[in-house]
Amino acid sequence: MLDLQDDLTDIIDLSIRLKKDSKKGKSIQMLKGKTLGMIFEKPSTRTRVSFEVGMTLLGGHAIYLNTNDIQLGRGESIEDTALVLSRYVDMIMYRAKKAEAVHELAQYATVPVINGLDNREHPCQIVTDLMTVQEHKGHLKGQQFVYIGDGNNNMAHSYLLGCGIAGMDIRIVTPKAYQPDSFFVDAVKKMGVAVEVTNQMSQATRGADVVATDTWVSMGDEAEKAKRILEFKGFTIDEKVMGQAKPDAVFLHCLPAYYGYEVTKEVAHGPQSVIFDEAENRLWAQIGIMVTLAGSCSRS
């Protein structure tokens, strides 16, 4: 998120414009002949399909590279993988188990590297979510954002930075043992927005324009599933919790969702939910990100 902070507003505006153009039937084939390499160390539905379809709409091509099938998965170095792929493809998307791996790939690649989720951050999803809020609310600055759930995961961390960059106050409501990493809280405090981290669910959504959550058991946390379900008891977003937000508040979830845990199906499929617009917008936001990166490549 910090790497794209100067471009966030432009990327969102571009993504909304290209979405409108494409839906009107205008061609958006701006990356003809370009190739995206997509490395996946973890499963994915949305990220994989939206990047691949996005590249198709842009007139380019995407290659799915699962680490079980490429030499990286059996010990080839990240450095050599980056140097080799850079000779073939125009940009690389990487979904990694460890943030350090994404940074290492970016260090050695000579083409742009997009973080498709790691254990610390999920920036493409946050660009998407802010785009979705902008579409529904008209603007971002000054909106009150509330995130309830695992405060120490990739979504919470990237929401903190994304809200700070966009000028939105943010409240993280999470059990004491799941507080965000202080790096993210300290960074967003310097951005001039109000940040609150609390474990109090009573009035968690008061004043909220946006209410968001994520799974209590992220990829890689599976061994702690039973413990987490006990520790997150009471942090479910149900109609009562949603009803305490502003009447026109929207509900976000990056998906996949686990109904009855972080959110009830009544809320997730209810009138305030925009989760399927949000899922669709992965496509448009990543189109905006890829076009922006291709532009900055040709300028350099």
Q: Which residues bind ligand CP (CB under 6 A)?
A: 44-47, 117, 125, 254-255
Q: Of 33, 29, 38, 35, which is closest to residue 87 (Cα–Cα)?
A: 35
The residue annotated as part of the active site, out of 48, 95, 171, 228, is 95
SS3 for 173?
strand
User: Rule CB under 6 A: is residue 213 a binding residue for ligand NVA?
Assistant: no
Site string for ligand NVA, 244-263 (x = CB under 6 A): ----------x---------
Q: Is 115 in the site for ligand NVA (CB under 6 A)?
A: no
List phi, psi (to 5°) of 265. Answer: -65, -30
Give 201: exposed, middle or buried? Use CB within 10 Å, 0-12, 13-18, 19+.
middle
Check binding of 214 to ligand NVA (CB under 6 A).
yes
Q: Which position's Cβ is nearest ligand NVA?
A: 218
Closer to ligand CP at the Cβ: 93 or 187?
A: 93
Report residue 11: phi and psi, to 5°. -65, -45
Instruction: Rank residues 125 and 264 by Cβ distance to ligand CP and give the closer one.
Output: 125
In this complex, which beta carbon is closest to ligand NVA, that of residue 21 or of residue 100?
A: 100
45 binds, among ligand CP, ligand NVA, none (CB under 5 to 8 A by kind): ligand CP
Yes or no: say if 113 and 94 are a contact pair by the CB < 8 Å rule: yes
Using DSSP's 3-state secondary structure scheme, residue 276 falls into: helix
Residue from the set 30, 49, 53, 219 that interacts with ligand NVA by CB under 6 A: 219
Question: Can you tell me which of 154, 158, 174, 272 binds ligand NVA, judged by CB under 6 A?
Answer: 154
Nearest residue to 253 (alpha-carbon basis) of 225, 279, 289: 279
Q: SS3 for 178?
A: helix
Name the residues annotated as catalytic: 95, 122, 125, 214, 254, 282
